[in-house]
Structure 1
Amino acid sequence: MHHRHQRRTAVAAGILLTAALGATAPASAAPRSGQAPTTALVTNARWGGHCTYDRLVIEVRGTIPPVTVQPVKELRYDPSGKKVPLAGRYFLEIRLSPAATHNEAGQSVYRGPKLVKIYLPGLKGLALTGDFEGVVTFGTAFSTKPVYKTFKLHSPERFVLDVRHANHCA
C-alpha cells in the first residue's frame, strides 16, 4: 500500500514538472521540423461578388489564428494611428493574431492589395491596416450597415467574410 502511494506521488510530481517545463518555454521557440510555424503568415486577400452576398477571403500559410471581426467608427493604421483613406459609412476591422505578413527574415509574404476601392453591392473598400507585434489587421468599408457571417476554409487555409446584400441576379 505504501509503495503504491509513493508511485502515485512520483507520477504526479513528474506530470507537474513536465507541465512547468512546458510553461517556461519561450513563446517564440522554433517549431520542430515538420510542424507548422506558430505565427500564421497572411499571404493574400481577395474578394468576389455573388447574387446575394460579397465575399472577402484572407489566405493564410500555416494554421489560421484566432480572428475577430468588429464594427468600428473609422479605420486607422496600426501602429501610426493615421486615418485610412477609404470612403464608407460603416467599417469592419478584421484582426488575426498571432499572425504576420512577413517571414522571420523580414521579407513580405503578402501579395494582396494594401488599399483598394471595390465596386461591389456591399463591399466598397479594403485596406491592410496593420502588421504590428504579431497582429495583422484589415479594414473593410461599406455604404450600408454590413450583415455578415464568418467561417474558415481549409486546404489551403482561408478566413472568409460573407456580407449579405439584396439579390442582384434576379
Structure 2
Amino acid sequence: MKKIHAWLTAILMAVGLGLLAPGAASAASYCGLVWGSLEESNQTMSTASVSNVRTGQHYCFDRLVIDLKGKAQGYNVRYVSKVVQDGSGLPIKMRGGAFLQITANSPAYDNETGKATFIPANRSEVTNVSGYQTFRQVAWAGSFEGYTSLGLGVRARLPFQVFTLDGPGSGSRLVIDVAHYW
C-alpha cells in the first residue's frame, strides 16, 4: 500500500510541476487541408475554350474539373446566395445548403467560328453527383462574351481551393476542390 501511495504522490508532483502534461490541443483542419471559403480569382482572360466538365470523389474532398483546349488562366470562384445565368442574370434553381458560382475566363465556343465547344446534355445536371459526400448539383449557367459559368450546389459552405493544371497534351484544366468538412 505504501508503494501505491509513493507512486501516486510522485505522479501528482510531476503533474503539478508540469513534467507530465497532456499534449497541446491540435487545431489541424480536416485531412490537413488549410483551405478557406473566401473568393478566389485570377482576372486574366484566356482564348482556350471549354471542352468538358467532369467531377470526381476523393477521400477528403469532391472535385470539379473544367477541361480546356489551350492554357487555363483566369477564373472567379465564390460562394453566392443564388447562382445566376451568364448574360441574363436570371437565377438558376440549385440544390444544396450553399452555392458556388464558378466562372472560367474562357468561352465554351470557338472564338473564330462561334461554334460551341461544349454543350451539356442536361443544363441542370451537367454531371451526375448523386452519392457524392459534398456536391449536390452541377448546373450550366452559360457562356457569354468569353466567360463560361457553372453553378455548384454543395452540402454546406465548406472550404475550397482552385488551381490550374497543364495537360493532357496542349490542353489544361481548371480544378475546384471542395472539402467534405472544416
Q: Give TM-score, length-normalised by structure 2.
A: 0.65
The answer as to 2:129 corresponding to 1:118 is: yes
Counterpart mapping for 1:12-161 below 5 A: 39-97=47-105, 99-103=106-110, 104-112=112-120, 114-116=123-125, 118-119=129-130, 120-156=132-168, 157-161=172-176
CA radius of gyration, larger in: 2
Q: Which runs of 4+ in 1 moved over 3 A?
A: none
RMSD across aligned positions (CA):
1.6
In the alignment, the residues of structure 1 paired with residue 179 and residue 167 of structure 2 have an alpha-carbon distance, to the nearest angstrom, of 25
Structure 1 residue 111: deviation in Å? 4.8
Whole-angstrom CA distance in 2 between matches of 1:81 and 1:64: 25
Question: Cα distance, 1:71 vs. partner?
Answer: 0.9
Corresponding pairs, count: 128
Residue number in structure 2 paired with 1:15 = none
Q: Using the aligned pairs only, state the percent identity.
A: 30
What is the CA–CA distance in structure 1 between the aligned matches of 2:89 and 2:76, rounded to whole Å? Answer: 19
Deviation digits for residues 49-106 of structure 1 (CA, Å, limit 9, x no counterpart): 1121101111011111211111110111111222212212211111122x11111212
Matched letter for residue 161 of structure 1: I
Aligned to 1:3: none
Looking at structure 2, the residues matched to 58 and 49 of structure 1 have their Cα atoms a distance apart, in angstroms, of 15
Task: Determine the C-alpha separation between the residues in 2 that align with 1:162 and 1:144.
Answer: 14
* SS of equivalent residue, structure 1 residue 115: coil
2:73 maps to amino acid? P
> Do the aligned partners of 1:43 and 1:112 also contact (CA within 8 Å) in 2?
no
Taking the aligned partners of 2:129 and 2:88, their CA distance within structure 1 comes to: 24
Q: Distance in 1 between matches of 2:76 and 2:86?
A: 16
